[in-house]
Structure formats: C-alpha cells, structure tokens
Amino acid sequence: MGDLKVEVDGSQVTLNGEISYKTVVSALKVKIFSANEPVSVDFAGVGHADSAGLALMVHWVREAKKRDVAVDFRNIPKKLIALAEMSNLEEVLPIS
C-alpha cells in the first residue's frame, strides 16, 4: 500500500494516495479545523480506500460537531459510499 497525503489550504482539504489502516493514523493527526468555518474535504486523489477511510470520515464529522462547524466530502470513492450505506452511516456522514 502507498502513502496518504493530506494537504490543508485554509478550509480546503485535499487527500492524495491510499486510505488504509496503515495510512489513516497519520491523517488523523492532521488538524483540518483551524477556524470556525466550514471545511471541504476532496477525495479526488484517493486511489484506494477501505473501512479506515470511513472511520476517518466519521472522526472528522465528530470533530466538526465539537467545533460547531460543517464539514463536507467531495469526490468520495464509490467503495466508501457503499461501506457507509451498508453501515447505515449515510445519515451521519454528508455523502450526498
């Protein structure tokens, strides 16, 4: 498996690489919420994602709620959407 790069530019977050149990730990350490403004996370650069990607999304939604800000996810890999639906998380995660 490859690496996962998390780039934060203000309220825009770009993910590049692979999200797996091996790479998600470093992503969890990146502070994507620096101000009280909505954050948008773009998954367009993600080539592979497993359930660790779903856990990362849930973590970021929880962090956003703690800060009373919105987070949205764009270009979510189809596999993550399917995992969210199978886990009944589509109402918890902003995946529409």
Instruction: Encode pLDDT of 4-18 as tens digits.
Output: 999 999 999 999 999
Q: Is the pLDDT of residue 62 over 60?
A: yes
Instruction: Note whether residue 20 is domain-resident.
Output: yes
Instruction: Note whether residue 93 is domain-resident.
Output: no
Q: What is the pLDDT of residues 34-53, one digit of tens each?
A: 878 999 999 999 999 999 99
Instruction: Note whether residue 92 is domain-resident.
Output: no
- For 18, residues 6+ apart whose C-beta sits below 8 A from its C-beta are 1, 2, 3, 4, 46, 47, 48, 49
Instruction: Note whether residue 71 is domain-resident.
Output: yes
Instruction: Note whether residue 69 is domain-resident.
Output: yes
Domain that holds residue 46: 4-86
3-state SS track over the chain: CCCEEEEEECCEEEEEEEECCCCHHHHHCCCCCCCCCCEEEEEEEEEEECHHHHHHHHHHHHHHHHHCCCEEEECCCHHHHHHHHHCCCCCCCCCC
Where residue 71 sits, what CATH number does that domain have? 3.30.750.24
Q: How many domains does the chain have?
A: 1
